Chains A and B, each alone.
Chain A
């Protein structure tokens, strides 16, 4: 997604030269969020996921089903999986992340992750087993969404396991995490919290999940939703900081190089709106926002000009649909977990929670129906007006 948006934004920023997009998936860029929601539930088709590229990139060259396996940033070439090299003047790193896997003993068959169309197809087929016992490992947003979808698809038992005591505790804090747990339980999801998974049982195929406290959960289908690993191995050997994604400056340049920028899930950038600490942000809004800023930086360099010095300061936005409710987040709630206040409504119904740091509003999260989302949106101007945390 970030690759497509970067191509479009390079055109918008005035770049008229050639653009080549290389991707290891065989498909044109597509929308991932429905893979754990509408498409997994069978409400939308896989075909509906394709993005409609802007007319401005009709002349871009797409090399699909081919991985970039190496890069020499000084020589300005990347090596492709088919053994060829591709020279460039400017490089946009948009390789995203892949699901982290659990390193537990046990069979591999019946265990899934959800990142790609192929992943979702395989999981959908497995969830169609009548009376399936589903165990979702990881109570983050993808785990919670998949659990909700599995219930909607009629799975007999859906259990979410996580070492944390509450679902989505780290991104949302205690108040909303408790409420989330209650709503999931009310809608038929079971939880095995506060204890990690240590092994999988079964012969050819998984039949159960073993927890550290000795409990065993029967399972025909396991979904591992335990976080992600940035795809950066192809950039090794160039002296970049790849500790957690690609470290960039506030103009999204990597390693201080004027001709290399990073966007989307893989970019670890300082957000001038907050404390300036570089972080990766795996929100859907980020590829578009970062591509816009990165394309300006790169297009200026390619034109021999100085880039606009305005630091990248996006207002992150995130949503998650689970059962009949939605979480809608604006800002950086995780920075304000120690000071949360209910801004609108009641925890049991449509509710909006504000997250504060040093007394300043840094994030707003709504839980509930469309009215809650609209209420959260009314706090957006206040979030935009807050001075930077470093100010």
Chain B
């Protein structure tokens, strides 16, 4: 599974972090960092994260 975040859209809401904390996190300055190729077992979490992103910046590719 491949995760792509459109960093032009992302506004560091951090909602994705609550949905999939193993894949997304905010650094100390409040900016997003994420794992681009998370394990398949995290798919449900990542899909939830894509849903809850207010900017709809997250795409999940197979």
Nearest B residue to A317, CB-CB: B15
Interface residue? B52 (CB, 8 A): yes
* Distance of A375 Cα from B5 Cα, bound (Å): 23
- Pick the residue among A5, A33, A328, A380 that contacts B51 (CB under 8 A): A5
Min distance, Cβ A194 to any Cβ of chain B, angstroms:
33
* Distance of A8 Cα from B13 Cα, bound (Å): 23
Nearest B residue to A56, CB-CB: B47
Decide if B56 touches A374 in the complex (CB within 8 Å).
Answer: no
- Pick the residue among A8, A31, A321, A374 that contacts B14 (CB under 8 A): A374
Within 8 A of B (CB), among A151-189: none
Cβ–Cβ < 8 Å partners of B18 in chain A: 377, 380
Q: What total of A-B pairs shows CB separation below 8 Å?
A: 42
Cβ–Cβ < 8 Å partners of B11 in chain A: 321
Nearest B residue to A55, CB-CB: B62
Within 8 A of B (CB), among A320-365: 321, 328
Interface residue? A284 (CB, 8 A): yes
Within 8 A of A (CB), among B37-53: 47, 51-52
- Pick the residue among B15, B31, B52, B59 that contacts A370 (CB under 8 A): B31
Min distance, Cβ A351 to any Cβ of chain B, angstroms:
14
Decide if B51 touches A373 in the complex (CB within 8 Å).
Answer: no
* Distance of A52 Cα from B15 Cα, bound (Å): 18
Decide if A319 touches B54 in the complex (CB within 8 Å).
Answer: yes
Within 8 A of B (CB), among A31-52: 31, 33, 51-52
Decide if A370 touches B29 in the complex (CB within 8 Å).
Answer: yes
* Distance of A313 Cα from B54 Cα, bound (Å): 21
Within 8 A of A (CB), among B10-44: 11-15, 17-18, 26, 28-31
In order of increasing CB-CB distance, the 7 nearest A-B pairs are A370-B30, A374-B30, A370-B12, A371-B30, A288-B51, A374-B26, A377-B14
Return 12 A-B CB contacts under 8 Å, by A number: A31-B56, A54-B47, A288-B51, A288-B52, A319-B13, A319-B54, A370-B30, A371-B30, A373-B30, A374-B12, A377-B18, A377-B26
Residues of A with Cβ closer than 8 Å to B? 5, 8, 31, 33, 51-52, 54, 284-285, 288, 317, 319, 321, 328, 369-371, 373-374, 377, 380
